[in-house]
Chain A
Amino acid sequence: MSATRSLHLRGRSVGLVFVGGALGTGLRALVSAAVPPVSGLPVAVLGVDVVGAFVLGLLLATLHRAGPDEGRRRDLRLLLGTGVLGGFTTYSALAADTAGLADQARVGAALLYAGATLVLGLAAAFAGLRCGGRRGGR
Chain B
Amino acid sequence: MSPALLLVVALAGGLGAVARLVVDGEVRRRLGDALPRGTVLVNLTGSLLLGLVTGLATGGLLPPLAQVVVGTGFLGGYTTFSTAAVEAVRLATAGRWTAAVVDAVGQLVAAVLLAGLGLVAGLALAG
Contacts and interface: CB of A to CB of B under 8 A. Distances in A.
B71 to A, nearest CB: 8
Nearest to B86: A125
A82 B26 CA distance: 15
Report, as a range, how many residues of chain B touch the other chain: 35 or more
Nearest to A110: B112
A53 B81 contact: yes
Contacts, number: 214
Interface residues of A, number: 60
Interface string A50-85: 001101110010000000000000000010011101
Main SS of the interface on chain A?
Answer: helix
A74 to B, nearest CB: 13
Contact of A91 (B6, B80, B89, B118): B80
Given A6-B29, A95-B111, A99-B119, A89 B50 contact: no
A114 to B, nearest CB: 6
A86 B6 contact: no
B88 interface: yes
B10 A96 contact: no
